[in-house]
Amino acid sequence: MVTAYIALGANLGDRVAALKQAIASINALPLCSIKKISSLYKTAPLETLPGHAPGADYINAVVEIETSLPAPTLLQHLQQIELAAGRERPHINAPRTLDLDLLLYGSGSIDSADLTVPHPRMWQRAFVLVPLAEIAPGLVSDLQLQAVRDQKIAGFDVDFWL
């Protein structure tokens, strides 16, 4: 079994329901089980970066799973979950009903045309680092959190359970 971390986000539709359904779907995947779920966080779209479209605030979380699926297969399943949630890709970084990013897959590194792990931009994003640090504090340093401290992120108080 490998420990993997997946970032979840949504800024269209019923964002909380989309994350709940995604977590249930991930937990139902063959050879996968969720071990930890972060709190929910609310963040504004990263409009200051090129290619990021404005839109409603995102609701984000990170989950830790244990899996025997190879990383490319896990990625395919995550993309199918996104599609089932109505994910469309009209342009890069468009607002979305659901976004699932494979952040880490064990201690390995993958660099292929379809998958890069660790996720190449995770260290630049508070909406990834803050929930990841919550459930796996040993994976995120204080220095990494300091680097994203100017990005607004707030806890999202909702009764959230699997």
Whether residue 148 is contained in a domain is answered as yes
Provide the number of structural domains found in the chain.
1
Residue 126 to residues 17, 52, 159, Cα–Cα distance (Å) = 22, 15, 22
H helices of the chain, in order, are: 15-28, 71-84, 126-135, 142-147
pLDDT at 50 > cutoff 70: no
CATH of the domain at 47: 3.30.70.560
Whether residue 162 is contained in a domain is answered as no
CA gap 1, 66 in Å, rounded: 6
Q: Closest by alpha carbon to 95, among 86, 108, 104? A: 86
Count CB neighbours of 41 within 10 A: 22
Instruction: State which residues form the domain around 8.
Output: 2-155
- Does residue 87 have an active-site annotation? yes
Whether residue 147 is contained in a domain is answered as yes
Report yes or no: 101 and 120 within 8 Å, Cβ to Cβ.
Answer: no
Whether residue 136 is contained in a domain is answered as yes
Tens of pLDDT, residue by residue over 85-136, are 776 665 556 678 799 999 999 998 888 888 878 888 899 999 999 999 999 9
Whether residue 77 is contained in a domain is answered as yes
Q: Looking at 14, 15, 99, 159, which residue is catalytic?
A: 99
Q: Looking at 14, 87, 111, 149, which residue is catalytic?
A: 87
The stretch 72-81 carries a mean pLDDT of 95
Whether residue 115 is contained in a domain is answered as yes
Whether residue 160 is contained in a domain is answered as no
pLDDT at 48 > cutoff 50: no
Whether residue 114 is contained in a domain is answered as yes
- Give the pLDDT band of residue 39 (cuts 50, 70, 90): very high
DSSP designation for 97: S
- In this prediction, residue 111 carries a pLDDT of 84
Q: Closest by alpha carbon to 7, among 112, 139, 111? A: 139
- Which residues make Cβ contacts (< 8 Å) with residue 69, sequence separation at least 6? 29, 30, 31, 32, 77
Percent of the chain with pLDDT over 90: 60
Report yes or no: 145 and 130 within 8 Å, Cβ to Cβ.
Answer: yes
The helix-helix angle for 15-28 and 71-84 (nearest 10°) equals: 140
- In this prediction, residue 140 carries a pLDDT of 96
Q: Looking at 14, 57, 89, 101, which residue is catalytic?
A: 101
Q: Looking at 14, 15, 89, 96, which residue is catalytic?
A: 96
